[in-house]
Each structure stands twice: as C-alpha cells, then as structure tokens.
Amino acid sequence: MAGTLYIVPTPVGNLEDITFRAVRVLKEADLILAEDTRTSSVLLNHYGIKGRLESHHKFNEHKTASMIKERILAGLNVALVSDAGTPGISDPGFLLVRTCVNEGIEVQTLPGATAFVPAIVSSGFPCDKFCFEGFLPQKKGRQTRIAALADESRTLIFYESPYRLVRTLEQLAEAFGGSRGCSVAREISKKFEEHRRGTLLEVAEWYREHEPKGEIVIIVEGAEPKKPAKKSYKDREAEDLD
C-alpha cells in the first residue's frame, strides 16, 4: 500500500509557531525531506524529532522527485519541510507535489505558517483580494513584469532580499508612482520584527539610511480602479436599439 506525502509548514521566526499536528506528523514520518538539513535540524532537535532527514532543494528536486515518488509508492510516509513557511510558496515543493498527484499518491498539506499572511494583514491595506507575486525576476523580464502590474487594483505582495530592497522599492515607485502606499514587513515573528509603512518613496528613503536585514515581505497598495469611459449619445442610442 502506498504511503502519503505530507507538506508541513514550519515557523518563519518563533519556533513556537508550529501546530501540534505538524510536530506529530514529523515524528511519525518515515522520512523527512528538508530544503536545508542544517536549518531544519534546529527545529527538529527543539521538538525532539529524531526522524530520518534528507535534503530536497531547488538544485536537486528534478533529480530526486521521481525517486521519492517510488519510495512513497513502496509504502513510506514522507514529510516535506522548507527552511521556513509552507513548502511550495516560493520554496521547493511544487515539483514533488505534482509528481505525486500525477501518480495518484495522497498529498496532505497541513495549514500553518506563511510569511505573506501576517504581512498583508498587518499592512492596513485591503486583504480580501490580493495578488501574490513572490520574488520578481532578478534580471530578464523584471521591468516588464513590474510594468504589467502598474494597473493591478488588488493589493500586491512581493518577497525580497534585503540587498535588493531599496532598488525594488525605487523601481516600483518609478512604475507605479512614488506616492503609492506600501508596507515593508521585516523579520516576521522574530525578536526584531518591524513594519515600515508609508509611500514607496518614503520607505525607500528610510531603508537607504537604515540598512535592512532579514527576511522581507513588501506589500503595495493596489491601483485605483479605472473608471469606465463615458458613452456617447450615439452609443447609448445603439444599445437601446439592440
């Protein structure tokens, strides 16, 4: 009988941000796949989890996904974790999930930590509808992608490195307008958690003077919806005739 693939979210900061179910699943799994075994070992040791640990990251996932699928088909229950948050959300996981789904293997994704959720809720911008972009392309296609989002009316979410934060805010300001509102969430759920709010230009200026560190989520206010063009008398008359 085939085993199950469990997608297990892990804390993005505070080690207490993990569910009882996640700890149980990790303890019971025959194999735990980790983006970085050194990082995951800290969490596993904290909760006394002694399961077998192997690496599964973006550099080897194309090679290992098929082998892991075969091991699950042979009866192993496998748990996948990333360095922080939910696997598959800007982290390795999608390829393995798709491989297992196509094979008819049961995939159970546990609810849990994801960095962008507390970031958007804390931003003060509408979060009933939003557009998650993850990491922008670093080079090819970057400006094109940013330009394509200029008229997006939903709240926008980006992940970014602290080393590229100021540049990204400046590029967004150039494309969206410097007065567009934004909120930068840094080090979510950690000791030095910070939320810096203002316009794109204001926040960019702040981080030019205060070097950012840690994991970063950028929340950008959506564009004002465009008003439909007024119809001429002839257009309205034609509609009435229809």
197-229 pLDDT per residue, tens: 999 999 999 999 999 999 999 999 999 987 766
Reduced to 3 states (helix: H, G, I; strand: E, B; else coil), residue 79 is strand
Min mean pLDDT across 58-62, 65-69, 220-224, 231-235 is at 231-235
- Domain residues for the domain of 52 are 4-109
Same domain, 143 and 216: yes
User: CATH code at 24?
Assistant: 3.40.1010.10
User: CATH code at 171?
Assistant: 3.30.950.10
Give the span between the Cα atoms of 81 and 129, in whole angstroms.
27
Same domain, 13 and 105: yes
Domain end marker among 109, 138, 171: 109
pLDDT digits (tens, 9 = 90+) for 103-115: 999 999 999 999 9
Q: Is the dihedral of CA 44, 33, 10, 207 positive or negative?
A: positive
Write out the two tokens for 110: 């546990």
Same domain, 67 and 126: no
Query: Is 165's pLDDT higher than 80?
Result: yes
Q: What kind and span of H or E run contains 208?
A: helix 200-209
Residue type, 196: R
The mean pLDDT of 230-241, rounded to a whole number, is: 62
Q: Is residue 226 part of a domain?
A: no
Domain end marker among 53, 82, 109: 109
Backbone angles phi, psi at 85, to 5 degrees: 85, -160
Same domain, 104 and 123: no
Detail the DSSP E strand segments found in 72-137. 78-81, 106-109, 130-135
pLDDT digits (tens, 9 = 90+) for 43-58: 999 999 998 999 998 8
Number of domains the chain contains? 2
Query: Is 39's pLDDT higher than 90?
Result: yes
Tokens 């009988």 — which residue?
1
Same domain, 70 and 88: yes
Give the span between the Cα atoms of 212 and 214, in whole angstroms.
7
Domain end marker among 109, 132, 161: 109
DSSP state of 110: P
The mean pLDDT of 39-45, rounded to a whole number, is: 96
Write out the two tokens for 21: 């179910």
